[in-house]
Structure 1
Amino acid sequence: MRRMRGAVVGGAAAVVTAAIGGMTAAPAAGAVGAPVAGLAYHGSVDMVGGRVDVRFTPHNHGTAAVPDSTVRIRWSQPLADAQTLPAGCARAEERAVLCRVGALGADAVGQQIGLRVWLRDAPAEEVVLEFDTVWSGGEGEEKREGRGNDQQRVLVLETGDTYYF
């Protein structure tokens, strides 16, 4: 049985190697025209007693560099009036905070951003976070890979559990 498994694995490896060897490089998504940016945010969030801790790292999955950008994080519940936000972040509206992402090269990872906010009406049973890239520095709608790839929604329950996105 062990020999049979080795032969199957070895045969599969040979097929994969042959298939890869015969492939030609396909153009990257959006590579038909000018290079495009593709920002996404990967991180975690948890909520306890009306306090929401968010940690995320911006990623540019696109083929064009981003000279400068900002992410808007919007909560489904109003935020408490007094907030202590990290450098580079500012209150934008009753339910939103803006954080500067800065420049990102093509296919690059940015610096982790962490913030803690308090909800006005604690404790909430759940809150929805929406991440939306706000572009500056010259990148416009027409230069993004498929509008919507830089928008994310995360449902967070008041359990103390960490949710990853």
Structure 2
Amino acid sequence: MRVMHRAMMVVSSAAVAVVMGAGSGSGVEAPGAGVGQGSEQRPAEADVAHHGHVSLRGGRLAVRLSTGNHGPSDLAGATARIAFSEPLAVGQTLPVGCLWGGNQVVYCQAGALRADGRESEFLLDLRTVGDPAEVSMDIATVWNGGAVDLNPDNDKHHVLVPATGDLYIY
């Protein structure tokens, strides 16, 4: 229950950051911010993208998640939600920047993402409950600092992962 509470706090914090928007302490500057008197601030424009691969063998999921920003604006960060169709074993350690959102969900928060800059990467080594024949995985951006995403299709993926040990690229 404590892990679920922490996840809710992170999601709530993300929602507050989105409401605050660009130019209000979020670390994201809107294009043209502060130019001229009375000019309206617009949200930054960016293109968050998630790519990587996943494999499943013997109840072990190996996930590589890379989050990048194709621009045009820099971002203070982005948070990805990875949801699995099967429950994951309790007591597993996640990399720094990731936290549990229940027994089938992991959130990973990338740090600052420059426009067309280096990607943030997470390597997850997870165990499922039991030994499923397949697992599906859904990845989506749940927070990007309030930026307008110019291409939202590349930050949402649905991957079917048969228990073959093969890498499935997304």
TM surpasses 0.5 = yes
Name the structure 2 match of 1:164.
Answer: 169
Write the deviation string for residues 35-74 of structure 1: whole angstroms up to 9, x where unpaired. Answer: 5211111211111111100012112123121112211111
Q: Aligned equivalents of 2:50 and 2:78: distance in 1?
A: 13
Corresponding position of 1:139? 146
- The residue aligned with 1:96 is 105
Q: 1: distance between equivalents of 2:86 and 2:72? A: 36
TM-score of the aligned structures, taking structure 1 as reference length: 0.71
2:136 pairs, out of 109, 128, 141, with 128
Would the aligned equivalents of 2:46 and 2:150 in 1 still touch at CA under 8 Å?
yes
Shift of 1:96: 0.3
> Is 2:64 the counterpart of 1:75?
no
Q: Would you say the 8 A contact 2:50–2:154 is kept in 1?
A: no
What is the deviation of 1:135? Answer: 1.1
Q: Could you give the per-residue CA deviations for residues 54-95 of structure 1, whole angstroms, max 9, x where no partner exists?
A: 012112123121112211111011111221211111111121
User: Structure 1 runs of 4+ off > 4 angstroms?
Assistant: none
* 3-state SS of 2:101 partner: strand
Counting only pairs closer than 5 Å after superposition, residues 1-165 of structure 1 correspond to structure 2 as: 36-120=45-129, 122-135=130-143, 138-140=145-147, 143-165=148-170
- Aligned-residue RMSD, C-alpha: 2.1
2:127, 2:55 → 1: CA distance? Answer: 12
Q: How many residues are paired up?
A: 130
Segments of structure 1 that go 5 or more residues without pairing to the other structure are 1-32
The 8 Å contact of residues 88 and 128 in structure 2, kept in 1 or not, is answered as yes
- Letter in structure 2 aligned against 1:139: G
Q: Which structure's CA Rg is the greater one?
A: 1
Identity of aligned residues (%): 38
Check conservation: 2:43, 2:146, Cα contact below 8 A.
Answer: no
Asked if the contact 1:86/1:114 (under 8 Å) is kept, the reply is yes
Tell me, which stretches of 5 or more residues in structure 2 are unaligned? 1-41
Q: TM-score, normalised by structure 2?
A: 0.69
